[in-house]
């Protein structure tokens, strides 16, 4: 049994329909002539990479002006300029409240780090005559203000500085003991090092029988962040000479005086 297949698909529309034989021949020739160029142009356009965005070009005078303003601000006060950049990096802008903050912060940090501009042991050079046996010298209740070297947060507390001069030796003014402590404290510090530096200065310049620096302080890096323990305090004891013996009577007297004034 044979079957006859009938093509039922519609015939494609003839774009040259309605032309006579002569016109049709001319139209088909023109189509054959221009079609390859059109296809090639389309392919070339599809292969072209996307155009990169055009850079913004500023006048040279504008660029130089911006650079000049930046350099001028940095040269005028590099600390204040850096604080401003710090606030910008954090996205902080509180209007008139922070408009002059970079200058205020720069002034504050120069005060907090003033110890780098001096040798605190120099305060011990000015000495005075004393009795043959000067006895024990203890200055307690000295206010301590320093800055944590690890987080740039405050260290605040109370210190005691003490020494026993050798027989017949000179003594220093009592305020100088506080100045030595303050000079070392006004740096980026850790509490243990403050006491050690004070004792080393006393031992090196005064050559006492014994010296000590006792500090009780609270640390912002413990109270304001991390473990967040606002009531925690740290006690450090630095000693030199005969007082390296923790049971020495002089050292025990110093510790008792410190406890009484440190609260």
**Shared-domain flag, residues 236 and 184:** yes
Asked whether residue 252 is domain-assigned, the answer is yes
Identify whether residues 258 and 209 lie together within a single domain.
yes
State which residues of the chain have pLDDT below 70. 1-49, 58, 60, 62-74, 263
Is 140 contained in some domain?
yes
pLDDT at 262: 83
- Provide the β-strand partners of residue 219: 155
Q: How many domains does the chain have?
A: 2
Looking at the fold, whether 129 and 197 belong to one and the same domain comes out as: yes
pLDDT of residue 49: 67
Q: How far apart are CA 208 and CA 202, in angstroms?
A: 7
Residue 43 lies in a domain: no
In this prediction, residue 76 carries a pLDDT of 80
48: in domain: no
Closest to 209 in 3D by CA, of 175, 184, 242: 242
Predicted local distance difference test score (pLDDT) of residue 16: 55
User: In Å, how far are 90, 158, 189, 233 from 239, measured between CA atoms?
Assistant: 44, 17, 18, 20
CATH, residue 143? 3.30.1130.10
Same domain, 84 and 137: no
Helix (H) or strand (E) holding 42: helix 21-47
Tell whether 168 and 210 lie within a shared domain. Answer: yes
Q: How many residues does the chain have?
A: 263
**Domain shared by 159 and 126, yes or no:** yes
Q: Classify residue 248: in a domain, yes or no.
A: yes
Give yes or no: residues 207 and 84 share one domain: no
Q: What is the pLDDT of residue 51?
A: 73
In a domain, 37, yes or no: no
| CA-based nearest residue to 226, from 142, 146, 162, 153 | 153
The DSSP secondary structure of 92-144, one letter per residue, reads ---GGGTTTHHHHHHHHHHHHTGGGGS-GGGGGSSEE---SS---EEEEEEEE
Residue 100 counted as domain residue? yes
The whole domain housing 105 covers 73-112
Residue 214 has φ and ψ, to the nearest 5°, of -115, 130
């Amino acid at each position: 049994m044979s079957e006859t297949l009938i093509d039922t698909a519609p015939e494609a529309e003839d774009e040259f329909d309605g032309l006579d034989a002569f016109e049709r021949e001319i139209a088909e020739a023109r189509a054959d002539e221009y079609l390859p160029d059109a296809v090639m142009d389309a392919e070339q356009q599809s292969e072209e990479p996307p155009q990169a965005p055009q850079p913004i070009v500023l006048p040279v005078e504008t660029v130089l002006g911006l650079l000049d303003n930046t350099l001028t601000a940095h040269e005028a006060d590099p600390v204040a300029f850096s604080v401003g950049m710090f606030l910008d990096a954090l996205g902080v802008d509180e209007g008139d409240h922070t408009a002059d903050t970079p200058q205020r912060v720069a002034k504050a940090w120069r005060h907090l780090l003033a110890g780098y501009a001096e040798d605190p042991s120099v305060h011990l050079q000015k000495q005075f005559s004393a009795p043959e046996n000067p006895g024990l010298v203890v200055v307690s209740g000295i206010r301590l203000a320093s800055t944590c070297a690890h987080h740039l947060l405050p260290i605040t507390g109370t210190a005691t500085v003490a020494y026993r001069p050798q027989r017949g030796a000179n003594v220093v003014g009592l305020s100088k003991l506080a100045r030595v402590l303050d000079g070392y404290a006004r740096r980026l510090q850790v509490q243990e090092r403050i006491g050690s530096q004070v004792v080393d200065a006393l031992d090196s310049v005064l050559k006492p029988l014994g010296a000590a620096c006792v500090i009780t302080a609270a640390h912002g890096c413990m109270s304001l962040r991390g473990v967040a323990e606002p009531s925690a305090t740290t006690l450090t004891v630095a000693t030199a000479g005969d007082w390296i013996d923790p049971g020495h009577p002089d050292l025990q007297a110093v510790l008792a005086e410190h406890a009484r004034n440190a609260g």
